[in-house]
Amino acid sequence: MSESSAYYSVNRYLREQFGKKVYKLALDGGFTCPTRDGSKGTRGCIFCAGGSGDFAVPVGESADQAIEIAKLVVAGKSAEKYIAYFQSFTGTYAPVHRLRSLYTGILRHPDIVALSIGTRPDCLGEEVVELLKELNSFKPVWIELGLQTIHPETAEYIRRGYPLSDFDDAVSHLLAAGIPVIVHMIIGLPGETSEMIRQTAEYIGKSGAQGIKFQLLHVLEGTDLAEDYAEGKFQALTMEEYIAVLEDCIRSIPPEMVVHRLTGDGAKQRLLSPLWSADKKRVLNEINRAFQRDHVVQGEFCSKTL
């Protein structure tokens, strides 16, 4: 099934921006997180199996070499231009001089048209934002923020390690610096109702961020979340439940917000639940079919006032 026009897809956005097909190259800058290195915790977020960058190529001494290796991973998908994508762990959690050298080396490569960095709102100090602004004047730089939820009790349960006000501050500093923001949220977190999930989407929609990524909660082997799941403390969503909530979320974000992801990209080998999510192609087909059936239109629930 072709892509639904019910929402503003990232593919459409990339075509509009670059006029051609571009692919993401997953790179790993060798970062950690404050919730892992002891600053705010040692076990990471409760659902995290290691920074969500399973296929990322480590950038060692040579940025060019890492880019060429990462291109081989997407070989077969012919593209001339690429977005360098740092999703593993916290992509701004390092001294500024190290960030400068890493990201400058990447952006200098002629095939790289943009840089996308996944990070946390509490790792975006003034100097980091200044650096991002400088890099963004050379080639586009996007920041992806892992918010996951706006609800404090869930944030505490997942050990996110920062309050909602940090998110608000980070978004306003990034936007003031002219840097586009993409926000990640998780659908299916324990204890959250459909309405709570929709409220998170609505909040992100009103935050000023340009993009959103919806991620289904995956229960992955070896995580603390898997232990709670095994003890029966919560249940994973069915595909029907997921799609119904996703529809509400799409209706609750403004029409101009770019939807970067509709489901998850979990490590299949470690996926314990929900197993239906492993067949991503089928899930996307079902989502697009449901959007058509239910006449979903992005932004139809949006009110203009905060």
Q: What type of residue sits at position 214? A: F
Q: Characterize the bridge pairing of strands 141-148 and 181-187.
A: parallel
Per CB under 6 A, the list member of 22, 25, 36, 173 interacting with ligand SF4 is 36
Distance of CA 154 to the CA centre of its chain: 18
Report the 10 Å Cβ neighbour count for 75. 7
In the numeric block, the tokens 């915790």 are attached to 41
Positions in 60-119 near ligand SF4 (CB under 6 A): 89-90
User: Is residue 173 a contact residue for ligand SF4 (CB under 6 A)?
Assistant: no
Residue from 31, 35, 53 nearest 45 by CA: 35
Q: What is the closest distance, in whole angstroms, from the C-beta atom of residue 291 to ligand SF4 in the complex?
A: 28
Distance between CA atoms of 208 and 89, rounded to whole angstroms?
A: 24
Q: What is the closest distance, in whole angstroms, from the C-beta atom of residue 110 to ligand SF4 in the complex?
A: 30
User: Is residue 35 a contact residue for ligand SF4 (CB under 6 A)?
Assistant: yes
Kindly tell me which of 7 and 86 has the beta carbon lying closer to ligand SF4: 86
Q: What is the closest distance, in whole angstroms, from the C-beta atom of residue 123 to ligand SF4 in the complex?
A: 9
User: Is residue 157 a contact residue for ligand SF4 (CB under 6 A)?
Assistant: no
Residue from 265, 224, 262 nearest 54 by CA: 265
User: Is residue 120 a contact residue for ligand SF4 (CB under 6 A)?
Assistant: yes
User: Is residue 264 a contact residue for ligand SF4 (CB under 6 A)?
Assistant: no
Site size toward ligand SF4, by CB under 6 A = 11
Locate 259 and state its tokens: 């939807």
Which residues contact ligand SF4 (rule: CB under 6 A)?
33, 35-36, 44-45, 48, 51, 89-90, 120, 146
